[in-house]
Structures are given as structure tokens and as C-alpha cells.
A = this chain, B = another copy of it.
């Protein structure tokens, strides 16, 4: 276990009707709010009306930025910054899933930066300060509601990159599982795959002695495996939505990472697919993950896959190591397929055309991952195996 500094300052209000804390929480930080949201589902479900009513009842001024894209774009960030500056906004309330929240975090950071906001995402300039952000989560997936990171796409440069800053931790997040009852089955599936991928990225890791973290990761994986299919089939099952929602936050808020030297693999590859083809992030992850697992499976990693198979999938621990490992990987693919997620890139419209360009782009900041570091040729090989 390596040294770590634990600090998760986000306050989470979890459960039914927790929206009641909204006005009081906002007023701790500001009085002029930028309300951000995505394609308008919050208007259909009534959450929008509820929020507006609360803001009005409490004399909180607000401006709106709707239409934030599923892979949120730097153009939306710029639009948000403009509204914030023109109206002296002092708080951003993100109502939606990870895309809306990520966009809001970077609006908050770019508000304090005079140059091109893309500089903060690309790493050309450092984030120094961030407007306070609060969230009302409507989709369990990215965990952005309780972490300090954001991922933004740039259609011009065909890039999708992540950035982070402690100021990007939401001040509070309202997690009401009933707000995810209307999430369609395919998005529920993709969200579950995204959560599991966050766990895989830190679970398959060679840091020695991080036993506690590994058992916690398995606890969360088992939660996704139990409740993903239930939420997929019974969208209004509170127990399933609640377990998935809380798992989404804990998967990436630091709990599984503290004490480990982490360096992600599959997200870096998937970001290239999303950047080029604008596919659903969770779907891209679900397609790539089993191929990645097969690619990195060798004598030096097999024991990690045995732990995974035995502890998560309840496989018999007495078999041949590689058989257990391969069975666990097959179980992973079968699980995603059972949720209706495509299992090949071809199915989502990606052919061999840009694979090499994307593979090279994936390693632009150096090789991917530290479980088994991936070079461009490894990424290409994983892409090809996923066609």
C-alpha cells in the first residue's frame, strides 16, 4: 500500500426527497446560479420544474445552459463561461448525468481563466480556481458527482481529454435514486458498464499489499453485477437504482484508489473512439474491456484474474489458473451482452478505417496503464480484436 492523502469533501444527500436541502445548500455558496442540463429529459420528468420552483421560492436568481451534449463539448463550456461572466454567476447547479456535471466543472474552472478554456483541458495551462458546483444526479455512471475530474471533447481537434482540480469536487450532490427511474434501459446498461470500468481500472493493478482496496473493489463489482440487470429490467426498482447509484459514486471518489499507484488503460482507448465517432462512453468501454483483459492476461497478471473470477464471479478456485481467468473474462463479456450492449465495434459503426490514427492518439501522453503498459501497437491490437 502506498502513501495517500484522503480528502473527499463532497457532501452527499442520498435518498428520496433529498431535493429539500437544495436551497439551503446553494445559499452556503452563492445567490446567482447557472443551471445546467442536457437534452431536456429533466423537463419531461418534472425535475426541472421542481428545481425552478425551489429557486424561485427562495429568491435565488438563475440563468440556464441547456442542451449539453452526451460527450460534452468545449463549445458548451465557452457558452457557459460567457453566461457566468455576463451575469456575475457565483454558483453552478448541474442537473443531469456525468456530461452535464463535467461540463459544469470546467465552466467553473474556465470562469477564472482568461485564455482559451481548452488550454485547461489539454493541460497547456493549469486550473487555479473553480466556481463552486453542486449537482443533482439523474444518471448513475461517471461518478462525477463525487470526484474532482472532468472529461471534455473537442470536435475540431477530435480530442476527448480529462482534467482535474480539488476545486472541482462538487460542494454537494443530491442523489435521489427515483430520479433515475426514467433512465432508458440502454443507458442504464451503459452506465453500469461505466461504473464497472472505473472499478476495473484500479482493481487490475499491481500495487502490493492493497488487499483492503481489492476486497472493496470486489464489493462494488458484485453490487453492479447483482443490480445492473435488475435496474435494466425493472427501471423503478428503488433498491437496484439505489445500490447502483451509490456504487457509481464510491467507484471513483478515491476510496478504491487511495493506497494504489493507478494509471488507467481502457478509458484512454475509449476516449479516442468517442472523440472520433461520438459513441456512448459506457458502450465503448464494455466493448473494449474484455478484449483488453484478454490482451493483458499473461503469467504476470493471471493471479489477479483468478482473484476476480473466484471472488466476484464465484468460480471454483481449484481449477487451472488460466482457465479461471479466461472464464472470468468470458463472464464479463456475457454480462455486458445480457444488458443488451453491443459486443463489437462494428455494431456501433466503427470499422478498421481510423484504428491506427486512434491507437496512436491514445498514447499521445505516453503508454497507457501500469497493469501492463500499452503502446500504440497494443491499443491497435485491442481495437482490432474488438471489431
Taking Cβ atoms with an 8 Å cutoff, the residues of A that contact B are 1-18, 208-209, 211-212, 215-216, 218-220, 222-223, 226-227, 238-239, 242-243, 246-247, 250, 255, 258-259
Contact = CB atoms under 8 A, between A and B. Distances in A.
A239 B14 contact: no
Given A2-B15, A3-B15, A219 B215 contact: yes
A12 B7 CA distance: 7
A247 B227 CA distance: 26
A246 B227 contact: no
Given A3-B16, A6-B10, 15 more contacts: A2-B15, A4-B12, A4-B14, A4-B15, A6-B14, A8-B8, A211-B243, A212-B223, A212-B246, A212-B247, A215-B219, A215-B222, A216-B216, A218-B219, A255-B255
Given A211-B243, A243-B209, A14 B220 contact: no
B1 A11 contact: no
A211 B215 CA distance: 15
A33 B6 CA distance: 24
Contact of A219 (B1, B216, B239): B216
Stoichiometry, as copies per complex, reads: 2
Given A9-B9, A219-B218, A219-B219, A212 B243 contact: yes
A5 B12 contact: yes
A243 B364 CA distance: 36
A355 to B, nearest CB: 38
22 contacts: A1-B15, A1-B239, A2-B15, A3-B14, A3-B15, A3-B17, A5-B11, A5-B12, A6-B11, A7-B11, A7-B12, A8-B8, A9-B9, A209-B239, A211-B243, A212-B219, A212-B220, A212-B247, A212-B250, A215-B218, A246-B259, A255-B255
A219 B218 CA distance: 8
A5 B3 CA distance: 28
A4 B216 CA distance: 20
A1 B215 contact: no
A222 B220 CA distance: 15
- For A3, A219, A247, A250, the residue with the greatest tally of chain B CB atoms inside 10 Å of its CB is A219
A6 B209 CA distance: 28
Nearest to A219: B215
Give the one of A2, A4, A238, A250 with max B CB within 10 A: A4
A242 B209 contact: yes
Contacts of A238: 209
Contacts of A11: 5-7
Contacts of A212: 219-220, 223, 243, 246-247, 250
Contacts of A219: 212, 215-216, 218-219
A108 to B, nearest CB: 21
Give the residue among A4, A6, A226, A238 with the most B Cβ atoms within 10 A. A6
A210 to B, nearest CB: 8
A19 to B, nearest CB: 12
B223 A1 contact: no
Contacts of A5: 11-14
A14 B211 CA distance: 16
Contacts of A16: 3
Contacts of A246: 1, 212, 259
A220 B242 CA distance: 22
Given A15-B3, A219-B216, A246-B259, A227 B239 contact: no
Sorted nearest first, the 3 A-B pairs with minimum C-beta distance are A3-B15, A215-B219, A209-B239
